[in-house]
Amino acid sequence: MSTSLFTRRGRLRTVALGLAAAGSVLGVAGCQSLDVTNQNTPDIDGIFTSGANLEAALLGSWRAFWGVAQGARTNGVYPVKQLSVLGNEMTTADLDTYIISQEPRVAIDNRDQGGWTNRKPWYDLLESMASAREAYQAIENKGLKIGTVNAQYPNGQDTPRAKVFAKFLIGVDNLYLGLLFDQAFVSDEKTNPATFTYELKPYNEVLANAERILREAIAEARAAENFTIPSTWINGQTYTRDEFIRIMYSYIVRGRVYGARTPAERAAVNWNGVLTLLDSGITRNFAQQADLLIGATASSYYQYSYLQTNGRTHNRLIGPADTSGAYQAWLAQPLGSRTAPRFVTPDRRIHGATPTTAGRYFGLLTTQTMTAIRGTYMHSQYRNIRYLLPPSNNYHQVGLITTMSTQEMMFIRAEALYRLNRRAEAAALINPTRLASNLPAVDVNGPPPGRACVPKRDDGSCGDLFDAIQYEKRIELFPTEAIIAFADARGWGKLLPGTPMHFPVHGRELETLGLPYYTIGGGGPGSAP
């Protein structure tokens, strides 16, 4: 039986820490053993007899999920930096990422003592789910009442809010397991650890289960009297019941679209259904305030997006904007001969009036500080400067971190319209960002052809409308969440050959379950063609 998902070992300590340090990161470092019982923590049944304690546990559950989405806990670079690099969004010569991002691609290290890329999100998502499930069951099965209890609120004024939030967390934890892994357990808020069958199911079943849970959470929210998610939970932001319902619909959209592993699966998405879901989705950005004094609220992903030392913007992200031929020349060189190219483009997000001046989103670095030891093909002369906050430029520690934007939903709508052959509507959606960036408008055929065409394909030919949708989305959403670039790249068929299309269940879990070891990537099973 798995010790990671349901037992009170390890996870009990997480809950207890949250009670001791409410408002700070709840947490067990991902590297800690899950097989050691901590005798110094209270019994879990005792923890879930207090409404305040239950809400503290939910806070910890949220921050564990945030750590997977943005990277903010111990070993917070995993998996966000790796996803971004595999999605050709960032490049880095750091050893922890080079192992998985080197070219030609190699298989994921899935052994017990390695493989942090898939080890951390696996256990963090299961940890988050376990706390949220215990909280939900304390309310549903044990009658725990939260907040004011009186004739008007016989079950506790804040009880519906806690139930919806717990179920939301269980839903998104399942969702990200389905987005990130080839298989996972299928469980929900009713799961009983004593009777659960520990059987791994394929990602499509995991994603379907996640959507079911989120739809049920939406129904529970609608049945509840209006409530507000407090700013102490999703730090610095409040969300009304109706806004939170919209957030859950947008996560369902992500599951529908980003779950596709291949271009064929992406094309087969029910795009009419996606449009309907988008109409019910977010109308303002879903975000959290980063705070230096509150752990697990910041974003390692945002931090790495503007590195200038051993990590920079990937040439494949901004190269399609180049009109000088430098990008195609770089691609044509053997890996061992590639050095960082410099681009010329009319896109003012990339550079200013001259190629050496900073653009609105990216800045040129004239000196190369990335190590050459692991290959100069990884070198880039650009970094993202969009969200730097002078004078300290520490956006990863302070500021509003958007993890899901209305703009993201707009680009998904544009793709849906394109695939439904409503191309004029799709073009109209992406033209505002182009026009604001000194690029001409696109029409149903794409950008105006010629040397100044943006974006260009890898062979130097002018891209079509779908290429333009992809380019605009990638440029505009970097950084939001690393899962976006990775999932889009696999669904559009843009992953480099041999790149893992998803992660394997970590070797530690396989050993616990008595299952044979396997891995993904490097040209083996689960690799991009």
Q: What is the pLDDT of residues 86-139, one digit of tens each?
A: 999 999 988 888 889 999 999 999 986 668 999 999 999 999 999 999 999 999
Residue 341 lies in a domain: no
| In-domain check, residue 528 | no
pLDDT in tens, 386-430: 988 765 556 567 889 999 999 999 999 999 999 999 999 999 999
Give CA angle at 444 (442, 446), nearest 5°.
Answer: 45
238 belongs to a structural domain = yes
* Residues 43 and 180 occupy one common structural domain: yes
Q: Please indicate whether residue 309 or residue 421 has the higher confidence score (pLDDT).
A: 421
3-state secondary structure of 144: coil
**325: its two tokens:** 């031929």
Query: How far apart are alpha carbons 123 and 108 in whole angstroms?
Result: 17
Q: With 50 as the cut, is the pLDDT of residue 186 above it? A: yes
Task: Give the whole-angstrom CA distance, residue 255 versus residue 177.
Answer: 10
Task: Tell me the two tokens of residue 471.
Answer: 């380019």
Tokens at 367, concatenated: 């000196």
The answer to the question of residue 155 being in a domain is: yes
Could you tell me which of 516, 512, 507 has the C-alpha nearest to residue 35? 512
Locate 299 and state its tokens. Answer: 């974003």
Evaluate if residue 187 carries a pLDDT over 70.
yes
Q: What percent of the chain has pLDDT over 70?
A: 89
Of 463, 479, 495, the residue at which a domain comes to its end is 479
Between residues 21 and 398, the one the model is more confident about:
398
Looking at the fold, whether 270 and 411 belong to one and the same domain comes out as no
The secondary element (H helix, E strand) that includes residue 53 is helix 51-70
Mean pLDDT of the chain: 90
pTM of the model: 0.92
Q: H or E element: which one contains 183? A: strand 183-185
What is the DSSP secondary structure assignment for residue 200, as one 8-state letter?
A: E
Percentage, residues of the chain above pLDDT 90? 78
Tokens of 133: 């499930």
Backbone angles phi, psi at 410, to 5 degrees: -65, -45
pLDDT at site 5: 52
pLDDT of 293 above 90: no
199 in a domain, yes or no?
A: yes
Tokens in use for 219? Answer: 């129904």
Same domain? 257 vs 111: yes
Q: Are 315 and 263 in contact (CB under 8 A)?
A: no
Asked, for residue 418, whether it belongs to a domain, the answer is: yes
* Total count of domains within the chain: 2
For the residues 326-337, what does the mean pLDDT come to?
97
pLDDT at 289 over 60: yes
pLDDT at residue 506, as a whole number: 95
What angle do the packed helices 241-258 and 159-180 form, to 10 degrees?
10
End-to-end Cα, the chain, rounded Å: 35
Q: Is residue 366 part of a domain?
A: no
Is residue 429 within 8 Å of residue 444, measured between CB atoms? no
On whether the CB atoms of residues 396 and 284 are closer than 8 A, the answer is no
How much is the pLDDT for 44? Answer: 55
Mean pLDDT of 271-275: 98
Domain housing 423 = 406-479
Domain containing residue 254: CATH number: 1.25.40.390
Q: Is the model's pLDDT at 46 over the cut of 60?
A: yes
Query: Looking at residue 229, what DSSP letter applies?
Result: E
State mean pLDDT over 280-301: 92
Cα atoms in the Cβ-side hemisphere of radius 13 Å centred on 498:
11
Please give the structure tokens belonging to residue 257: 């679209």
Give SS3 for 228.
strand
More confident position, 387 or 479: 479
Who has greater pLDDT, 46 or 259? Answer: 259
Lowest mean pLDDT among 4-13, 367-376, 448-457, 458-467: 4-13
Specify the higher pLDDT residue, 303 or 183: 183
Can you state the percent helix, strand and coil of the chain, rounding each to 5?
A: 45, 10, 45
**Which is more confidently placed, 158 or 28?**
158
The residues with which 402 forms a beta bridge, in sequence order, are 287
Cα–Cα distance for residue pair 520/108, rounded to 1 Å: 6
Q: Is the pLDDT of residue 317 over 60?
A: yes
CB-based burial label for 82 (10 Å; 0-12, 13-18, 19+) = buried
Q: What integer pLDDT is reported at residue 393 of this predicted model?
A: 58
Task: Check: CB of residue 228 under 8 Å from CB of residue 239.
Answer: yes
Alpha-carbon torsion 486, 303, 398, 347, what sign?
Answer: negative
Tell me: cis bond preceding 202? Omega within 30 of 0 counts: no
Does residue 348 sit within a domain?
A: no
